[in-house]
């Protein structure tokens, strides 16, 4: 039986485009899928004058659909302004690929989420965020869904690794249910800081290990 993929999906899976990492990116993001436990990382370079995406690369720990969608959306995003690139949807990507099996829709959603988060990261790091929602524990919790728990491959919220979050005058305190000397403690702490520190009204992030 042949695989239920379009020829274009198979072609992009065999010869993916824009795979890799950009050293010194202007924006980057990592997204994980709760549906399958896969992960994607997206890196972008942006021309500050024109707000045009000059380079974009991705790394995928996902399936063929994810790799094909990552290839197509990075091709679509290159040369667009950040505002135009934000509007690319997973349906656009799936159409461009000649369709995806419905059960694989989440794989393209994952790739699009990665691109949008990398753009968001770029905007936060460059003071370009327009809708300035105040950072609350709920907002932090949502963002922590992008921090993976390396012990399971799922995020730290879904795996109940976060005990408590408080936000006061720009200081975010996050309590993690692990001992400080746990082999993954430092990696998780770095990942949390990387995701929360760029938020527009956050001045400091303190990670406590409280097992």
- The residues that touch ligand FES, with contacts defined as CB under 6 A, are 33, 36, 38, 62-63, 65-66, 104, 107, 110
Handedness of CA 9, 13, 18, 24 (dihedral sign): positive
Do 158 and 37 meet the contact criterion of CB atoms below 8 Å apart? no
Task: Identify the three-state secondary structure at position 135.
Answer: coil
Judged by beta carbon, residue 88 or residue 140, the one nearer ligand FES is 88
Four-CA torsion 92, 96, 101, 106, nearest 10 degrees: -40
Q: Which of 10, 19, 36, 76 is catalytic?
A: 36
Catalytic residue among 44, 100, 107, 176: 107
- Annotated active-site residue 63? The verdict is no
Cβ closest to ligand FES, residue 69 vs residue 119:
69
Measured from the CB atom, the residue of 11 and 124 that comes closer to ligand FES is 11
Direct distance between the N- and C-terminal alpha carbons of the chain, in angstroms, rounded to an integer: 51
Minimal distance, residue 136 CB to ligand FES, in Å: 30
**Residue 77: helix, strand or coil by DSSP?**
helix
Q: What residues form DSSP beta bridges with 168?
A: 171
Residue 9 or 46 having the CB closest to ligand FES? 9
What is the C-alpha separation between 116 and 85, in angstroms, rounded? 8
Residue 40 vs 207, nearer CB to ligand FES? 40
- The Cβ of residue 73 has, within 10 Å, a number of other Cβ atoms equal to 28
Nearest CA-CA partner of 146 in 118, 122, 123, 168: 118
Catalytic site positions? 36, 107
């Amino acid at each position: 039986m042949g695989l239920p993929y379009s020829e274009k999906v198979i072609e992009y899976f065999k010869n993916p485009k824009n795979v890799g990492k950009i050293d010194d990116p202007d924006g980057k993001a990592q997204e994980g899928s709760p549906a399958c436990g896969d992960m994607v990382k997206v890196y972008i370079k942006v021309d500050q004058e024109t707000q045009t995406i000059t380079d974009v690369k991705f790394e995928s720990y996902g399936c063929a659909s994810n790799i094909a969608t990552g290839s197509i959306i990075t091709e679509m995003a290159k040369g667009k302004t950040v505002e135009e690139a934000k509007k690319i949807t997973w349906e656009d990507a799936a159409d461009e690929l000649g369709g995806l099996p419905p059960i694989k829709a989440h794989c393209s959603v994952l790739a699009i989420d990665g691109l949008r988060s990398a753009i968001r990261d770029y905007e936060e790091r460059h003071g370009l965020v327009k809708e300035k929602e105040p950072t609350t524990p709920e907002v932090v919790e949502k963002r922590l869904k992008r921090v993976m728990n390396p012990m399971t491959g799922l995020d730290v919220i879904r795996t109940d690794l976060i005990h408590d979050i408080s936000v006061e005058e720009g200081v975010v305190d996050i309590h993690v249910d692990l001992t400080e000397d746990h082999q993954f403690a430092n990696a998780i702490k770095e990942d949390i800081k990387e995701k929360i520190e760029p938020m527009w009204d956050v001045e400091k992030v303190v990670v406590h290990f409280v097992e």
